[in-house]
Structure 1
C-alpha cells in the first residue's frame, strides 16, 4: 500500500534539491584580529576563533572590555568598557544589508581605513576595511547574503601586523618637496644642498 512507482522517486529527490537551493544565504563578516601582545597577555581569550556564529539582525554587536555589555570582549585595561558597536541596516532601494560602525569610547579614537571616528561618531562599514584603535588591528571583510533575519561573524587570528601583511594603507612619509612625482623630477637633475640642510 505504501509502495512507490518507479517514476516518483526522482520527483522526491528533485524536490529536496529545490529546497536546498531556496535556502537563504546569510550576510557574513570575516574579522581577522591582530595585537602585538596577544600571546603573552591572553587579550583574545574570550574570542572563539574559527567559529562561525549566527546572530539576529536586530542585535547591536558591541566590542569592548565589559563582559556584561559586550558580546566580544578583550582582556585589556587599555580598552574601553564599550569600544565600538556594529549594527546591521538596509539602505533605501537596496536588497543588500550593510553594517554601521560607531565609536563608543570617550578615550580612544577609532580609525576605519583612514577615517577617524571620535566618541559617538558613526559611518557605514566598507565591504573590506581596516579597523584600528590602540595596538589593535581588525581586517574586516563582508560577504553579502539575502537573509533579513540573521547574519554571521567569524574571527581568525593573525600573528603578524595586518597593515604590513596586506600592505594596507601604507603610510609612506611624504617628502619635503610635497609629492613623489615632483621629487622624482627634482632627483633627475643635480641639486645643490647648503651645509645647513644636512
Structure 2
C-alpha cells in the first residue's frame, strides 16, 4: 500500500528516504524497539530529523546506551538548479566519529548525501537511499532492518565518490572507533571504560 495515497496532501509524490539499519547484535538486543521498522512516516521538510538515544528530542530513537543522546541529524534542502529534494547529514555526537561512505565526520560536521549512502557509527551501519519525488514541503521516511551488513554490498556507491585504494580488499576499512559509551553525569564513569571524568 502506498502510504502517501492515504495522507491528506496537495502534493503528487513525496520524496522518500529509505533508511535501513544493521548492527551485529541486533538479533539479541532490542535496539530497534522504538523505530517500528516497516512503517512509513511523513515529515515536514523544514524540520530536521534527529536520530539518537533520547526519545524526547529525537525523531527516531535507538535503545542502546552506546548511542549518543543526539547521534545525527538529517536536513532537507533544495537548490535553484534542481527540482529534487536533497539532504545533508550532520554528526551530533561529541564522542564518536561518523563515516558517510568513506568520509569521516567529527562533531557538528556536515556532508551532502548522494542518492545512496552508507553511514557508520560504532558498530551500526545505516544504508540511506533517496527516492525522488515532486513534493516541496514534506517527505517520507521508511525504516527497515537488514539481515547482513550493507557495507558488503555498497562498494559501488562508495567508489562513485571516493577512489578505491588498491589493498586487495573491496571493502572500505572499518572505523577505528568502536562502540563509545555516552555516560550520564550521575553514573560512575570509571566502570564504563571511559576516560576519567574532568
1:83-98 to structure 2, matched below 5 A, reads 83-98=71-86
Name the residue aligned to 2:64.
Answer: 76
Give the total of aligned pairs. 154
TM-score, with normalisation over the residues of structure 2? Answer: 0.72
Equivalent in the alignment of 2:16: 28
CA distance in 2, matches of 1:165, 1:148: 31
1:66 maps to 54
Describe the SS at the equivalent of 1:130: strand
Matches within 5 A, 1:4-43: 24-43=12-31
Q: Are the aligned partners of 2:11 and 2:135 in contact in 1 as well (CA < 8 Å)?
A: no
Tell me the CA shift for residue 119 of structure 1: 0.3
Determine helix, strand or coil for the equivalent of 1:137.
strand
Q: Distance in 2 between matches of 1:73 and 1:117?
A: 21
Alignment of 1:90-109 (within 5 A): 90-109=78-97
Residue number in structure 1 paired with 2:167:
174
Query: Partner of 1:139 in structure 2?
Result: 127
Gaps of 5+ in 1: 1-21, 176-198
Shift of 1:130: 0.2
Q: Secondary structure at the match of 1:163?
A: helix
Distance in 2 (CA, whole Å) between partners of 1:23 and 1:57 is: 13
Whole-Å separation in 1 of the counterparts to 2:77 and 2:134: 13
User: Once the 2 structures are TM-superposed, how far is the Cα of residue 23 of structure 1 from its aligned partner?
Assistant: 5.0
The answer to whether the 8 Å contact 2:11/2:134 transfers is no
Deviations 1:28-74 (A, max 9, x none): 10111100111211011111111111111111100000111101111
More helix by share: 1
Question: Alpha carbons of 1:23 and 1:67: their partners in 2 closer, same or farther (altered >3 Å)?
Answer: closer
Q: Is 2:39 the counterpart of 1:51?
A: yes
1:149 is aligned to 2:137 = yes
Give the Cα–Cα distance (whole angstroms) in 1 for the partners of residues 48 and 126 of structure 2. Answer: 18
Shift of the alpha carbon at 1:96?
Answer: 1.4
Deviation (angstroms), 1:166: 4.4
Unaligned runs of 5+ in 2: 1-9, 169-198
Over residues 79-99 of structure 1, what are the superposed CA-to-partner deviations in whole Å (9 max), with x where a residue is unaligned?
Answer: 100000001011133221100
